[in-house]
Structure 1
């Protein structure tokens, strides 16, 4: 059920910005697989899926740093070496178990049919983002894809959001970010852009309502109910 928290809705949203991990796609199984591959290679115990889920959202380097820190904080050199193994493994296993969330594809089709511009905006590196979108046949829905290394700063900095609005020559008030975590709400607030959060994503033990988004969605299809 859609929970509307902001009286300014429905949102015009000529541009809809969508987070990737935990919003469009459940990537946690393959991220956990890659992280645990590295941990096992180092002779460490693998981490539980629920633990890895809590590390998602700040890019894979930070995910790997936190996974290693479960037992011992890594040096930068140790993290660099771990990232080589992580990147090689994850790049070869991007979609072994990852799946598009229910309602996502149909919602993207509907948004595109309505003439809205769509942006995928993620902290995941481009080397992983583009193959995932392409192999799941989602890439062509987006007029712009901004990965974690596309710009000098990433979420929670507002730069990617402001860049997307400027790219389509729209004011931030005519854009809407859809995400699942504090990074998304912080970036949106800093950009003064409306933001909706999905309940099924990666936000740890913190309910998305505690992030004070403008709307809460249980299913991506509910996004259509809050747009003008």
Structure 2
């Protein structure tokens, strides 16, 4: 199903995901993670393998990467080794990601224009991502996207992350809008599940990351090839 653009009178605000929706950050993930793995004396991981792990927060990403590179280890020992390595892995990843944040990433075509059109229509905008806030804010600044958002909430802003509905409910509260009149725009089942549970309409972009699964198989209100397709005149 394609998305029929919403007249701006039907919504008061939009919540926009970051990784895979506004910015292609796979290059950043790959560079930071492989620097981390070198620090730990482990072999590198291919970017294609990383892509399916993105979207559920940095903690999940790091554990998934460690389990992937330890795939040759017996499962029980793999779990033990993953947890033993995790503290050093987290410290290393934080350091490397902050050092290269945005350098290997690119804004998707149509994002800047789409955000400008949403703002021009009178909608309040918030960025809601599972990425840590300390990573999200500098990335948005570096890519010239920070100024359009009233609020930016990372994965550490609330007690739970997407696909739990809590971050969307709290973001709607911050925006002062009802969930039913707040559009969620994302790229994965995490965004769609959270929106459904929170009572928000949801549209997914056809590019980005969806845990290695076809995005059009996700239960959403529609799909767009560009953020510029979201609103009708």
TM-score calculated relative to the size of structure 2? 0.90
Q: Of residues 61, 64, 74 in structure 2, which corresponds to 1:63?
A: 61
* C-alpha separation in 1, matches of 2:141 and 2:222: 29
* C-alpha separation in 2, matches of 1:165 and 1:54: 28
Change (3 A) 1:101 1:141: same
Shift of 1:106: 0.9
Within 5 Å, which residues of 2 pair with 1:171-190?
171-190=178-197
Q: Secondary structure at the match of 2:230?
A: helix
Change (3 A) 1:4 1:108: closer
Q: Secondary structure at the match of 2:69?
A: coil
Q: Could you list the per-position Cα deviations for residues 90-131 of structure 1 after superposition, in whole angstroms to 9, with x for gaps in the alignment?
A: 100011110111000011111111110001000010110111
Shift of 1:212: 1.5
Q: Secondary structure at the match of 1:177?
A: strand
* C-alpha separation in 1, matches of 2:208 and 2:63: 21
Q: Of residues 22, 27, 30 in structure 2, which corresponds to 1:29?
A: 27
* C-alpha separation in 1, matches of 2:224 and 2:34: 31
**Unaligned ranges ≥5, structure 1:** none
Contact preservation (8 Å) 2:51, 2:212: no
| Residues 1:204 and 2:202 aligned together | no
Q: Could you list the per-position Cα deviations for residues 33-56 of structure 1 after superposition, in whole angstroms to 9, with x for gaps in the alignment?
A: 111112223332211111111111
Aligned to 1:191: 198
Shift of 1:223: 1.4
* C-alpha separation in 1, matches of 2:155 and 2:24: 18
Q: How many residues align?
A: 223
Q: Of residues 151, 160, 169 in structure 2, which corresponds to 1:144?
A: 151
Aligned to 1:90: 97
**Unaligned ranges ≥5, structure 2:** 71-77
Aligned to 2:52: 54
* C-alpha separation in 2, matches of 1:101 and 1:9: 22
Shift of 1:151: 1.1
Contact preservation (8 Å) 2:184, 2:201: yes
TM-score calculated relative to the size of structure 1? 0.92
